[in-house]
Each structure stands twice: as C-alpha cells, then as structure tokens.
Chain A
Amino acid sequence: MRRPEPATQTSEFPRVLSALSELLDLLGKAFEQYNVDNRSAFWVTLAVEEVFTNMIRHNRSSDNRISMDLDISETRISVRLTDYGVPPFDPASVPEVDTTLSAEQRTPGGLGVFIVRSQMDDVAYSHENGNLSVSFTKYRELADD
C-alpha cells in the first residue's frame, strides 16, 4: 500500500463552539489516514478540544479565527493552536486541579490545562506580536489496542 505523504496541514476555524465539530472531524480523518493508535488519537483530540474551547472562552471580545497546525509523522503527532490578537496568557497562573475533592466540591474547570500538562509529551506556550500559540506533541504508541 502506498504510504501517505507526511501530514502537515494548517486550518482555520471561526471562534464559535459549533466549529469544534469540523475541527474534531478533521482530526479524526487525519488520524485514520495515518493509522494513529486509538489511545494517542483520544488524548490528542481531548487536548485540542480543551485548548480550543479555552481560547474561545477566555477571549470573548475577539472575532479572529483560531488556526491549527497539525503535523503527523510515524512517531509523533504535533499540534499548534494559535489565537490572534489576544492578551498574554500565563499557564502557570492556572491552579493545579485538585483531583481529591468530593463530588460537591468538584468542577470540570481547569481540566484542559491539566490534560495538556499530564498527557502531552512536549508543551510550549508562546505569545508573540499579540498572538498566543499553544503547541504540544504526543509520541505515538507502538501498537494499537
């Protein structure tokens, strides 16, 4: 079977929640095309959704589109999400999720940063010329389940 060309693609999405379906469908198709194992696909999809929805939530005054660069190789999946014309974001300002709280005290807040921190292998935040980029890489599992 002919091996697909390395997947490097850039896409832009309107900063509305409904755009998430198109974004996640695009990811799903790319993972299928490049035979990405289910576990890596699951965690990267989750990280992308959490970062994308955080970008929408935290910069409501912006109407700029959010871009995603996706790069898949045989060993890794790399993603960069960029939000244009936004204030700096300090990820260190996001408190750690307390996973020991009771049901009454728990909220799903902060889970996005927690997932990126705990499940992605390389994570970088940058803010240049008013643009915030969140980049992460997930090294692919060798075998599928």
Chain B
Amino acid sequence: MTEDFAAVWDSETTVIYLSGRFDATQVAKADEALARADGPTDVDFSELVYISSAGIGSLLATHKRLGKSGGLRLVNMNPHLRELFELAGFDTVFEIG
C-alpha cells in the first residue's frame, strides 16, 4: 500500500493509466492527466491498489466535464476497488469494464 502514485496519459490510445495509491494528496497529479481527456476515455486501474473519495471525486469531475461527448470507462479494477465502487453506487455512474 506504499506504492508511489502515477497517472499517465497515453495519447496514442487515449488511455489513462493509474498506478499505486491514489489518496487525497495525489489529486493534482491525477487531474493533470485527466485534463487531457476530451472524449470517451478508458482509465486503466490494473496497477492501482487504492483509491479514496478524493480520487473518486477527481474521476467524477472529469466524467461530468466530458458529459455527452463520452465519459470515463474504468477498466481492470481489482476486487477491492470494485467492491468500493459497487458499495458506494459508483458502478452505475461510470461504465466499469
């Protein structure tokens, strides 16, 4: 749970790769990558071990900003994160692949 957080925008595939621990101190770093999204965007969670409400807030703000142009699809979520999203009802807000 001590992995450094990273958020990487891949312009070729328009995928954002998140990794490590996405806690409230990492919002600015994540927002930098999320700001690049201007259409339907996959966010790859395969290397993400943790996310808190601050991180979900970042994703939610981007999802709302993209609105009708297509939102975020969250892919490769680990079972703990999926459980959190389901418990808090965010599995009906985002498409989870």
| Any B CB within 8 A of the CB of A136 | no
- Counting chain A residues whose Cβ lies within 8 A of the other chain, the interface size class is 35 or more
List chain B positions with a Cβ less than 8 A from chain A.
Answer: 1-2, 21, 23-25, 49-50, 52-54, 56-57, 60, 63-64, 71, 79-80, 84, 87-90, 92-94
Within 8 A of B (CB), among A19-48: 20-21, 24-25, 27-29, 31, 38-39, 41-43, 45-46
Q: Which residue of B lies closest to A46 (CB)?
A: B52
Given contacts A46-B50, A50-B52, A99-B89, contact A106 B25 (CB under 8 A): no
List chain A positions with a Cβ less than 8 A from chain B.
Answer: 17-18, 20-21, 24-25, 27-29, 31, 38-39, 41-43, 45-46, 49-50, 53, 97-104, 106-109, 111-112, 114-115, 118-119, 145
Pairs across A and B, CB under 8 Å, 26 listed: A17-B24, A18-B25, A21-B25, A24-B2, A25-B2, A31-B1, A43-B80, A46-B50, A49-B24, A49-B52, A53-B52, A53-B54, A98-B89, A99-B88, A99-B89, A100-B92, A103-B63, A103-B93, A103-B94, A104-B64, A106-B60, A106-B89, A108-B54, A111-B53, A112-B53, A115-B53
